[in-house]
Amino acid sequence: MFGFFIGALSLVGLIKVLKWGRSARWQGGAGGPRRWMLRRLFQALDTTPGQEKVLSDAFDALRAKGFAVRDAFEKARRDMAQAMRAEHFDGEAYAAAKDAQRSAVDALEAQLKESMQAVHEALQPEQRKRLADFMEYGPRGFGHGHGFHGMHHGCHRPAAVNL
């Protein structure tokens, strides 16, 4: 009986966390991590309000496609499980599920290209260089005055230089 109670509480907690993750507070509200991350990026790139709108819109569109991909993968997983449960393996259901996954990933890739192109057009050459460095090396050192090259144990230098 105690195990059932713990399981029920865990299920309720999981549902709350999943709902909370998609709430407006975390999708761009005043203090969510998305806003913090974008604000930090805007500061590091020294963007104008117009550039910030383009970057925010690109990020939002990409994020929406990401949620669509996640939903498509969850549906495909359920469809594949149903194909496995059937008396005889349903190859058509499996193929349809895989096609849905591929379509979702293709849509995400197309959105990524579109978003990157919009951001590229909105930024100045120096801002694009800084953003490209951030994309290549990650957030370590971003905006700390020493750039991205040669930081932290020389991890971004070619192997021949690390003697």
Cβ atoms of residues 13 and 5 within 8 Å: no
- Specify the pLDDT at position 153: 43
pLDDT digits (tens, 9 = 90+) for 22-77: 444 444 445 566 678 888 889 989 999 999 999 999 999 999 999 999 999 999 99
Task: Tell me the C-alpha distance between 7 and 2, whole Å.
Answer: 9
Closest CA to 73 of 107, 109, 97, 56: 97
- Specify the pLDDT at position 137: 85
User: 141 in a domain, yes or no?
Assistant: no
User: 84 in a domain, yes or no?
Assistant: yes
pLDDT at 18 over 60: no
Give rounded-to-5 percent helix, strand, coil for the chain: 70, 0, 30
Q: How confident is the model at residue 142 (pLDDT cuts 50, 70, 90)?
A: low
User: 17 in a domain, yes or no?
Assistant: no
User: 159 in a domain, yes or no?
Assistant: no
CA distances in angstroms from 3 to 10, 11, 54, listed in the order given: 10, 12, 50
User: 38 in a domain, yes or no?
Assistant: no
pLDDT at 2 over 60: no
Domain housing 127 = 48-135
User: 150 in a domain, yes or no?
Assistant: no
- Specify the pLDDT at position 40: 87
Q: How confident is the model at residue 148 (pLDDT cuts 50, 70, 90)?
A: very low
User: 75 in a domain, yes or no?
Assistant: yes
pTM above 0.85, yes or no: no
Task: Tell me the C-alpha distance between 161 and 163, whole Å.
Answer: 6
Please state the φ and ψ torsions of residue 119, each to the nearest 5 degrees: -65, -40
pLDDT digits (tens, 9 = 90+) for 90-141: 899 899 999 999 999 999 999 999 999 999 999 999 999 999 988 888 766 4
- Specify the pLDDT at position 125: 95
Paired tokens of 63: 């994020």
Would you say the C-alpha torsion 153, 44, 31, 67 has a positive or negative sign?
Answer: negative
User: 39 in a domain, yes or no?
Assistant: no
Q: What is the count of structural domains for the chain?
A: 1
Task: Tell me the C-alpha distance between 11 and 5, whole Å.
Answer: 10
